[in-house]
């Protein structure tokens, strides 16, 4: 990496003063300004700390300085980080002392991590899902996955912005916007959406504001922003990673997961996040199926002999340039020994959308009110109805661009004993599993399916909302199975992702396949913070990044 103690600690004095993004410590940078830690992996950073070239405190300081330089400056600020952790540097210093005295705890010792702002931390930071209604309503304990990160020695740098309420408030929202954090932008073209709902985590990780980040997904909220920022995004099997302490949408589909710049980093982070939590009954199913070290499944020759299905119906055909990149990816996989089953349609996939929404509406109301009940009395709304009234009373701040149609729809739903809910839940499980992913994978004896994650992202439009052409997130989301997206190239400088979709507990297989493809293709490259995409360049895997 060319790291040296001098270059890493150059920004120490200025960065130490950072307590919030309101007090940036550095002058606005130029695009040519280098960043010593650009694209550094967890393995790189651990090697540098082991060699004495870097400390956890120095590492945290450099990332904090990077955030100050790039996140809130310029005509179009990125706004990916909603809040910094005032305890980060003290935590890093303590971990440095521990390393000197006892050695590292593991691969994440001293590694800076950013968390999506719907993941609870019982510290000086807020946990708000981007809503002003939850400012000041601090949870009584860390989310289970935060406890695991702290125990592993990770340094929580701060919280990332998100699509407010994880993009489950309006039917025409602009991804990446929250009342508390403003509009997150895409670092590859600042007038483009970062996608959502883990918008800030995606943009910040792509921009090298942290080593790795943690996002959450109900349907696409990890893989979509990851694809939009040329990242690896892993949506685990529901139950592999605890959801306790995470502001919910759906207990059937919600999960947290890694957002990283490499598959190896995703594997290292998943090794820490995965674990049985008595407070989340779904994690009990992971006993005997979870692994302590997912990095051991990484194999650069992992495509050889793998049977990979191509579900063209519904998941191809909505964007020719995206399809062209995926055809290149398929040819590359075949050249590396993969056996392609093409086509391999997913049965019943078009029938899932209506029951999925019904399930989400019911589960959102029940889950959110259960979460709100855990907060201190009087610090936040206690029911969805109270939250709706809060938004109406604070409309200039909370409802300036779009409304809360999904909130109203969810409020109209009854309890989880309603026949309508139970019928929809049964349909989702049948259509997505037995008649969906399980059926196609069994029929063709597949290791995984592969499809475009989505088309290149559109322009930010707070008035009309997001414009989407298609995506492949729903089968894994509704079934609760695993998927991973990896960079597949660029269209006019805008990233495009490729998704590997597997069955339940298929993370080892997906990591192996994704790592092998990543190693063979090498499509990841950092953003340039261009104001807009350069439409003069030729679309395709070899197209240069957007110009600043």
Q: Alpha helices, DSSP H only, in 281-352?
A: 312-315, 320-335
What's the average model confidence in pLDDT over 116-139?
97
Whether 24 shows a pLDDT value over 70: the answer reads no
* Residue positions annotated with a catalytic role: 116, 197, 221
Domains of the chain: residue spans and CATH:
65-85+104-521 (3.90.1300.10)
Please tell me the distance from the alpha carbon of residue 213 to that of residue 204, in angstroms, as a whole number. 8
User: Model's pTM, two decimal places?
Assistant: 0.93
Whether 512 shows a pLDDT value over 70: the answer reads yes
The H or E element spanning position 216 is strand 212-217
At residue 62, what are phi and psi to the nearest 5 degrees?
Answer: -65, -40
Paired tokens of 405: 């149609």
Report pLDDT digits (tens) over 172-182: 999 999 999 99
The SS3 call for residue 361 is helix
Q: Decide the pairing of beta strands 232-235 and 483-491.
A: antiparallel
**How many other C-beta atoms are found inside a 10 Å radius of the C-beta of residue 292?**
9
Where residue 517 falls among pLDDT bands split at 50, 70, 90? very high
Report pLDDT digits (tens) over 416-439: 999 999 999 999 999 999 999 999
Please tell me the distance from the alpha carbon of residue 196 to that of residue 466, in angstroms, as a whole number. 10
What's CA 182's distance to the chain center, in Å? 18
Report pLDDT digits (tens) over 196-207: 999 999 999 999
Helix, strand, coil proportions of the chain in percent (round to 5)? Answer: 40, 15, 50
What's the average model confidence in pLDDT over 99-117?
98
Looking at residue 74, its pLDDT comes to 85
What's the average model confidence in pLDDT over 351-367?
98
Looking at residue 481, its pLDDT comes to 98
Paired tokens of 332: 């590359």
What value does the mean pLDDT of the chain take?
93
Where residue 51 falls among pLDDT bands split at 50, 70, 90? very high
HSE-CB at 429 with a 13 A cutoff on CA atoms is 8
* % of the chain surpassing 90 pLDDT: 90
- 450 within 8 A of 485, measured Cβ to Cβ: no
Whether 12 shows a pLDDT value over 70: the answer reads no
The answer to whether the peptide bond before residue 197 is cis (omega within 30 degrees of 0) is yes
Where residue 321 falls among pLDDT bands split at 50, 70, 90? very high
Report pLDDT digits (tens) over 387-420: 999 999 999 999 999 999 999 999 999 999 999 9
Paired tokens of 398: 């909370």
One DSSP character per residue, 450-504 reads: EEE-BPPP-B--TTT------BS-HHHHHHT--EEEEEEEEETTEEEEEEEE--T
Residue in the structure block whose two tokens are 């953003």: 527
Residue in the structure block whose two tokens are 């919910």: 248
Looking at residue 10, its pLDDT comes to 30
Looking at residue 282, its pLDDT comes to 98
Where residue 377 falls among pLDDT bands split at 50, 70, 90? confident
What's the average model confidence in pLDDT over 213-233?
98
Please tell me the distance from the alpha carbon of residue 17 to that of residue 11, in angstroms, as a whole number. 11
Q: Decide the pairing of beta strands 155-160 and 232-235.
A: unpaired
Report pLDDT digits (tens) over 154-195: 999 999 999 999 999 999 999 999 999 999 999 999 999 999
- 335 within 8 A of 301, measured Cβ to Cβ: no
What's the average model confidence in pLDDT over 126-152?
97
Looking at residue 29, its pLDDT comes to 43
- 493 within 8 A of 546, measured Cβ to Cβ: yes
Residue in the structure block whose two tokens are 């995206």: 322
Contacts with 278 (C-beta within 8 Å, 6 or more apart), sequence order: none
At residue 436, what are phi and psi to the nearest 5 degrees?
Answer: -125, -105
Where residue 538 falls among pLDDT bands split at 50, 70, 90? low
Whether 328 shows a pLDDT value over 50: the answer reads yes
One DSSP character per residue, 279-315 reads: T-GGGGGGTTT--S-GGGG--TTTTTT-EEE--HHHH
One DSSP character per residue, 135-190 reads: TT---SS--HHHHHHHHTT-EEEEEE--SHHHH-S-TT--TTEETTTEE--BTTBT
**How many other C-beta atoms are found inside a 10 Å radius of the C-beta of residue 188?**
29
Q: How far is CA 262 from CA 33, 297, 483, in A?
A: 23, 14, 15
């Amino acid at each position: 990496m060319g790291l040296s103690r001098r270059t890493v600690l150059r920004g120490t004095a200025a960065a130490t003063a950072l307590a919030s993004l309101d007090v940036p410590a550095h002058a606005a940078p130029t695009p040519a300004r280098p960043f010593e830690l650009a694209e550094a992996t967890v393995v790189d950073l651990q090697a540098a700390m082991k060699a004495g070239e870097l400390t956890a405190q120095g590492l945290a300081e450099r990332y904090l300085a990077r955030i100050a330089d790039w996140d809130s400056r310029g005509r179009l600020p990125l706004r990916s980080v909603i809040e910094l952790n005032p305890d980060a540097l003290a935590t890093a210093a303590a971990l440095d002392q521990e390393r000197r005295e006892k050695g590292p705890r593991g691969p994440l010792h001293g590694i800076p991590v950013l968390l999506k702002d719907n993941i609870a931390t019982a510290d000086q930071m807020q946990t708000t899902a981007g809503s002003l209604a939850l400012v000041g309503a601090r949870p009584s304990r860390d989310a289970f996955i935060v406890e695991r990160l702290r125990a592993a020695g990770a340094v929580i740098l701060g919280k990332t912005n998100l699509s407010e309420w994880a993009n489950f408030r309006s039917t025409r929202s602009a991804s990446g916007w929250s009342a508390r954090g403003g509009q997150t932008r895409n670092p590859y073209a600042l007038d483009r959406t970062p996608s959502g709902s883990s918008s800030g985590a995606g943009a910040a990780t792509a921009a090298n504001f942290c080593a790795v980040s943690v996002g959450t997904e109900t349907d696409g909220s990890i893989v979509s922003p990851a694809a939009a920022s040329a990242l690896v995004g892993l949506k685990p099997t529901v139950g592999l990673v605890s959801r306790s302490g995470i502001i919910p949408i759906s207990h059937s589909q919600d999960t947290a997961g890694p957002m990283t710049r490499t598959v190896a980093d995703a594997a290292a982070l998943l090794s820490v996040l995965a674990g049985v939590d008595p407070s989340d009954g779904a994690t009990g199913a992971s006993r005997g199926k979870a692994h302590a070290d997912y990095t051991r499944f990484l194999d650069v020759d992992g495509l050889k002999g793998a049977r990979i299905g191509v579900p063209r119906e519904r998941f191809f055909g909505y964007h020719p340039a995206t399809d062209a990149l995926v055809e290149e990816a398929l040819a590359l996989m075949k050249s590396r020994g993969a056996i392609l089953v093409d086509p391999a349609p997913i049965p019943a996939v078009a029938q899932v959308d209506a029951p999925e929404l019904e399930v989400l509406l019911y589960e959102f109301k029940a889950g959110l009110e259960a979460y709100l009940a855990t907060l201190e009395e009087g610090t936040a709304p206690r029911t969805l109805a109270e939250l709706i009234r809060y938004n109406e009373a604070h409309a200039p701040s909370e409802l300036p661009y779009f409304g809360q149609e999904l909130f109203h729809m969810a409020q109209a739903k009854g309890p989880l004993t309603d026949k309508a809910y139970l019928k929809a839940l049964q349909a989702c499980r049948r259509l997505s599993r037995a008649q969906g992913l399980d059926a196609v994978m069994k029929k063709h004896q597949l290791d995984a399916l592969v499809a475009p994650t989505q088309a290149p992202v559109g322009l930010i439009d707070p008035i009309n909302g997001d414009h989407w052409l298609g995506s492949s997130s729903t089968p894994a989301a509704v079934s609760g199975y695993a998927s991973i997206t990896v960079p597949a190239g660029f269209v006019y400088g805008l990233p495009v992702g490729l998704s590997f979709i597997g069955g339940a507990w298929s993370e080892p297989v997906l990591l192996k396949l994704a790592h092998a493809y990543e190693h063979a293709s090498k499509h990841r490259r950092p953003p340039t913070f261009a104001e807009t995409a350069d439409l003069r360049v030729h679309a395709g895997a070899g197209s240069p990044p957007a110009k600043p």
